[in-house]
Amino acid sequence: MILAHKIALAPNNAQATYFARAAGVARFAYNWALAEWGRQYGAHKTDPAQPKPSQAALRRQLNAIKREQFPWMLEVTKNAPQMAIIQLGDAFKNFFAGRAKYPRFRRKGVHDRFTLTNDQFALDGCRIRIPNLGWVRTREALRFSGKILSATISRVADRWFASITVDTQDLTHLPKAENQGAVGVDLGVSALATLSTGEVITGPKAHAALLKRLRRLSRSLSRKQKGSANSKKARARLARLHARIANIRQDALHQLTTGLTRRFPVIGIEDLNVAGMMKNRRLARSIADMGFFEFRRQLDYKSEMRGGEVVVADRWFASSKTCSCCGHVRESLPLAVRTWTCPDCQARHDRDGNAAINLKHYAVSSTVSACGGEGAGPGGNARVKPASSKQEVSKKLSMGSFG
């Protein structure tokens, strides 16, 4: 299994300056290759005799001209521009396969990162050796043992991190899931998650809690003269606040998903149309603040690592409108209705709790059906979602792990 461990770095001023230069070189190479790719592809469409662009050809082209035209690129590791062009090639593969949109140019301050191959860096306890720079202190040692594949150095606000990718077979750091049966998880806006066990996790709602401060810092930045020293300071303060909001959200999601995968071997969730939900202008901010996609991503790989299953219900499965006691399905259930009474069995339901129980039934019936049992019930079309082979792993990402 391919895992990644993101480790905070502790560079001095000279090392941070080198990181910024290397990230700038990588960004320039990526943008140069993207512009050149478009130019060469247009020439090929006009004249089919012209070769199609490729990342290998663009790397050779840049190597041939960078010593004369871009000598400043030689001040940092050669991996920075080369890996950036390889990443552009992967982006075009995803674009032509229909998995992603057309690649966009990288922006300074937004995409500050560069990648190193495994033969260009070394790890020794709580330090990493960067080519042309030397040893840089890290906040913790690598958690996983195995073959190291690559490292990506990136900046978040004013802090630098190294994401180490490892191919490992040793997953003993995570024990198998406890045998507490199946659980249904209903995600929402008022509460992050409602479990079929009756537990309700409200979630931190970090963006809403810090929105007033976020608006004040954004207003302060807009009033600064562009390019001035005060503008840079205001931008840094705003970036730190955005990073803090993201860290609070990540910490809550990691604690929730780790607890679920540790306790339950079978977890039932809904296949939410997050993109469609974000089009609701009244709920978009609250939905984004919960991090539904990140919850699903973490749940997938953590469950796979602990030997569990994530059963994904179809997005049209009527989890809220179906009575979890008798199976009666209501014709409609407006979002404002939080509790309702079944007209058949007179059972009174909380909307979210009832949905979680139905998702649990869905997960149980689908796993029984997958194992050759009889009768899938309402979960006959359930889909068991295993984790993908390449995931970014962090058992618990807290504010303290960055310090």
**Does the pLDDT of residue 46 top 70, yes or no?**
yes
Strand partners, 159: 156
Least confident of 41-50, 169-178, 295-304: 169-178
Both tokens of 3, joined, read 């895992």
From 112, 289, 304, 352, active-site residue: 352
Average pLDDT, the chain: 87
Q: Give percent above pLDDT 90 in the chain.
A: 59
For residue 165, the model assigns a pLDDT of 94
User: How many residues are recorded in the chain?
Assistant: 403
Indicate the DSSP class of residue 78. Answer: T
Q: Which residue has the tokens 């306790």?
A: 263
In whole angstroms, give the CA distance from residue 351 to residue 49.
63
- Whether residue 256 has pLDDT greater than 60: yes
Which of 234 and 351 is assigned the larger pLDDT? 234
DSSP 206-251: HHHHTHHHHHHHHHHHHTSPTTSHHHHHHHHHHHHHHHHHHHHHHH
Residue 384 clears pLDDT 60, i.e. is over it: no
Radius of gyration of the chain, Cα coordinates, nearest whole angstrom: 25
Is 119 designated active site?
no
DSSP 3-state of 56: helix
- Helix, strand, or coil here: 151? strand
Active-site choice (186, 251, 300, 309): 186
Any bridge partners for residue 390, and if so which? 2
Structural contact between residues 50 and 44, judged by C-beta atoms closer than 8 angstroms: yes
Nearest to 257 by CA among 215, 292, 216: 292
- Residue 139 to residue 57: CA distance in whole angstroms: 39
Residue 352 falls in the annotated catalytic set: yes
Mean pLDDT of 118-127: 92
Each domain of the chain, given as residue ranges in start order, spans: 2-167, 182-402
Mean pLDDT along residues 284-288: 89
pLDDT of residue 390: 37
CB neighbours (10 Å) of residue 378?
18
pLDDT-wise least confident of 136-150, 285-299, 313-327, 375-389 = 375-389
* Phi, psi dihedrals of residue 363, rounded to the nearest 5°: -65, -45
170 is catalytic: no
Q: What is the separation of C-alpha 397 from the centre of its chain, rounded to a whole number of angstroms?
A: 13
Q: Report, as an integer, the average pLDDT of 173-201.
A: 87
Mean pLDDT of 31-55: 93
- Say whether pLDDT at 376 is over 60: no
What does the pLDDT read at residue 380? 43
Selecting among 112, 251, 270, 300, the annotated active-site residue is: 270
- How far is CA 324 from each of CA 12, 216, 242, rounded to the nearest angstrom? 59, 47, 41
Share of the chain above pLDDT 70, in %: 90
